[in-house]
């Protein structure tokens, strides 16, 4: 992935590539844009792939919630004058996508979720007091993945820096709590759009039964599993993830055929 140019339009920051139907990608709580590097590269030959940066650390403290992140995405979609979007969200980004979809159903063409919160998640809990301990943070990051080798120094450093900033940790906890409070099981039946669920069989943060509950709740969803995979399938098994999503889009007649 080439170093990306971050585009700024008013309060919105994002990266984009390609042309065609807009595929808006929503990252998670600790999600750098690089988490979706392979998705960005793979799909930008036939979609207009757009990754907005969620203002997790910029919202006023009292407004820091999954719901207000979804409001931010509403404003972003307005700013770019996008009529119908395909949404793809991981973890907290999936939850933001769910809230956006519920409130803007006529503006969403499809929803793809991978390891999404919104029903249940094992959060960091009350284990932050040892935040100055880098080994502890490395272990916390490692549980995101089936194979701990994916807990790179860069990822660990990013999380370590975030949880050692009082401003950032308070926002992280506020968003995590708001996400846990905001259960969306009652909202799923009204989301009558095509939904693709791609889940790691070894996800311990949003475990497999969460995927099953999503699948049962949506009127029109397909569920795909990736083995030996944790909470970030698009990072841990990028080729398999892209192949599944590719085939699903093709089967649903979404996007141009892959050249």
pLDDT, greater one: 158 or 228? 228
pLDDT of 91-132, one tens digit each?
999 999 999 999 999 999 999 999 998 887 665 444 454 556
Measured between alpha carbons, how far is 190 from 200 in angstroms, rounded to an integer? Answer: 26
pLDDT of residue 161: 82
pLDDT of 70-85, one tens digit each?
999 999 999 999 999 9
- Termini Cα distance of the chain: 20
pLDDT of residue 126: 46
Q: What is the mean pLDDT of residues 14-35?
A: 87
Measured between alpha carbons, how far is 195 from 210 in angstroms, rounded to an integer? Answer: 15
Q: Any idea where the domains of the chain sit in the sequence? A: 7-122+183-251
Could you please report the per-residue DSSP string of 127-154? -GGGTT-HHHHHHHHHTTSSSGGGS-HH
pLDDT, greater one: 43 or 130? 43
Q: What is the mean pLDDT of residues 19-37?
A: 85
pLDDT, greater one: 16 or 32? 16
Report pTM: 0.91
CATH 3.40.50.1820 is right for the domain spanning 7-122+183-251: yes
The neighbouring-strand residues paired with 112 are 88, 196
């Amino acid at each position: 992935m080439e170093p990306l140019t971050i585009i700024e339009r008013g309060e919105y920051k994002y990266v984009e590539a390609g042309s065609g139907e807009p595929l808006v990608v929503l990252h998670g709580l600790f999600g750098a844009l690089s988490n979706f590097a392979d998705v960005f590269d793979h799909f930008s030959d036939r979609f207009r792939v757009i990754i907005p940066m969620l203002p997790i650390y910029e919202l006023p403290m009292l407004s820091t919630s999954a719901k207000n992140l979804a409001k931010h995405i509403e404003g972003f979609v307005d700013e770019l004058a996008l009529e119908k979007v395909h949404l793809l969200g991981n973890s907290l980004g999936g939850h933001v996508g769910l809230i956006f979809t519920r409130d803007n159903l006529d503006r969403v063409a499809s929803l793809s979720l991978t390891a999404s919160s919104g029903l249940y998640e094992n959060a960091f809990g009350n284990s932050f007091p040892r935040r100055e301990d880098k080994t502890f943070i490395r272990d916390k990051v490692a549980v995101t993945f089936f194979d701990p080798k994916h807990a790179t120094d860069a990822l660990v450093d990013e999380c370590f820096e975030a949880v050692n900033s009082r401003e950032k940790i308070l926002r992280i906890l506020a968003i995590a709590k708001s996400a846990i409070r905001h259960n969306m099981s009652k909202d799923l039946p009204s989301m009558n759009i095509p939904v693709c669920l791609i889940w790691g069989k070894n996800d311990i943060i949003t475990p497999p039964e969460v995927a099953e509950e999503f699948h049962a709740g949506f009127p029109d969803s397909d569920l795909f599993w990736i083995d030996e995979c944790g909470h970030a399938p698009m990072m841990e098994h990028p080729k398999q993830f892209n192949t599944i999503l590719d085939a699903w889009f093709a089967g649903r007649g979404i996007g141009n055929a892959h050249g």
